[in-house]
Amino acid sequence: MGSIEEKVDLESDEEIPFSGSQTSNKMQSLSFETSHILSHPKFSASWVLRKVNRVSILRSIYIVLIKAKINVLLPFGPLAIMLHYLTKKHGWVFFFSLLGITPLAERLGYATEQLACFTGPTVGGLLNATFGNATEMIISMYALKNGMIRVVQQSLLGSILSNMLLVLGCAFFCGGIVHHHKVQVFNKATAIVNSGLLLMAVMGILFPAVLHFTHTEVHKGKSEIALSRVSSCIMLIAYAGYLFFQLKSQSNLYSSLDEAEANNDEDSDDDEVPEITHWEAITWLAVLTLWISILSGYLVDAIQGASDSMNMPVAFISVILLPIVGNAAEHASAIMFAMKDKLDITLGVAIGSSTQISMFVIPFCVIVGWFMGKPMDLNFQLFETATLFITVLVVAFMLQEGQSNYFKGLMLILCYLIVAASFFVHIDPSNDDD
């Protein structure tokens, strides 16, 4: 035994210097080759950086513009622009513009979610709601510039109705079907705060309409607009206070449940890792917003012609069709989070988006119309105001328990179908603004 061990030791002693020298030789040759390659003008550091950046850009383009299945609708945007100049058929231009904006709105929501990965959950939800409403805001600005006041009012109203009934209803329904064995819960306190803000928005929209239809204005035609502008300033102040309350004062109220969910889901890293960098996300937000703004111009120009050619009321197009396209991002993300049993994020997307439109986008359009010299006001007419009031009450009752199930979602979807049928047979009484 002793001789065998000595033999092994001798063999190892003999092999160590040989292997060490061989390794050092290999390392020297490798470092020589590496330095030789890097010293070569073709393989300089700037060349390597250019190659890496090119691969990164191509990868980003593939992820954003090719990977998602909804991107098959992207060619309809350029096709709509071609039809606008070649055929002047407003029905087809409107239809193809609608199809072309749909994937852009969804990709805008995706880029926002990627950017939200680098922020906290509360700021991420605010970003999602803000850029999720970018499509509606761009369409509203184009319509306001063209003097189509009723299209602005009805499209923003339709966006609120779509988010509160269709988006939230589909999210509750799909989440309830997937998690049928348990009751899904959400933060009741935040839902009540949002419901209060929505009721305040209803108040701001209701009084100009009541003033108009009761014929009790001090100065006919002027008091209504003056009241709308004052109410809009007050609503903007209230929304600024809400943001401070959400992000600074009571941030623990909004982030506690999200942090608890994040701790519970540490083992599942499905969508927690961002696919693109934050600078790429910011760049894509700018590019997609620009492309949506271009298509929105053609879409707004074709609304009246599409209404005539398809024999469809402008009110139905503005309240039902336009918001479905604008809410594509909210619709997809709200359903996805509900199926993952993250209802607080679902409510932040759906109800948060409705709150932002009613308390920020609508008053902002009134103020912008004031500077443009356009008579944009908060008088949404009696039919639209009553629809919004009933919708806010229904949703507030659905949220007061802090629980959801598939039947609540089904009721919200059916309520939206009633609203859609109502606007299909509704003729707008004031056509002087269109």
Tell me if 222 is assigned to some domain.
Answer: yes
The candidate with the shortest Cα–Cα distance to 153, out of 396, 376, 388, is 376
Domain membership flag for residue 11: no
Q: Are 334 and 346 in contact (CB under 8 A)?
A: yes
* Residue ranges making up the domain that contains 407: 62-261+275-425
What CA–CA distance (Å, rounded) separates 294 from 287? 11
CB 155 within 8 A of CB 143: yes
Q: Residue 93 in contact with residue 83, Cβ under 8 Å?
A: yes
- Tell me, yes or no, whether 18 lies in a domain: no
Residues 6+ apart with CB under 8 A from 187: 253, 254, 257, 344, 347, 402
Q: The tokens of 404 are what?
A: 């959801």
Is residue 47 assigned to a domain? no
> Which two three-digit tokens encode residue 67?
């990977």
Residue 403 within a domain = yes
Query: How many independent structural domains does the chain possess?
Result: 1
Please indicate, yes or no, if residue 20 is contained in any of the structural domains.
Answer: no
Number of neighbouring beta carbons within 10 Å of residue 177: 14
Q: Are 154 and 384 spatial neighbours (Cβ–Cβ below 8 Å)?
A: yes
Closest of 102, 149, 148, 154 to residue 324, by C-alpha: 102
Query: What is the C-alpha separation between 272 and 287, in angstroms, rounded?
Result: 24
pLDDT digits (tens, 9 = 90+) for 60-71: 888 888 888 888
Strand partners, 403: 185
Asked if residue 355 belongs to a domain, the reply is yes
Q: What is the pLDDT of residue 49?
A: 52
Q: Residue 93 sits in a domain of what CATH number?
A: 1.20.1420.30
User: Would residue 33 count as lying in a domain?
Assistant: no
Question: Helices 343-356 and 251-264 meet at what angle, rounded to 10?
Answer: 150
The 3-class SS string of 65-121 reads: HHCCHHHHHCCHHHHHHHHHHHCCCHHHHHHHHHHHHHHHHHHHHHHHHHHHCCCCH
pLDDT tens track of the chain, all 434 residues? Answer: 444 444 444 444 444 444 444 444 544 444 444 444 445 555 555 655 555 556 678 888 888 888 888 888 889 989 999 988 888 788 888 889 888 888 888 888 788 778 877 776 667 666 766 676 777 888 888 889 888 899 899 999 999 999 999 999 999 999 999 988 888 888 888 888 889 999 999 999 999 998 888 888 888 878 889 999 999 999 999 998 988 887 776 655 555 444 544 544 444 444 457 788 878 888 888 888 888 888 888 888 888 888 888 888 888 988 998 888 777 767 777 888 888 888 888 888 888 889 989 999 999 999 999 998 888 999 998 999 999 999 999 999 988 888 888 999 999 999 999 999 999 998 887 544 43
Per-residue CA distances from 47 to 38, 39, 188, 236, 376 (Å) = 10, 12, 56, 51, 56
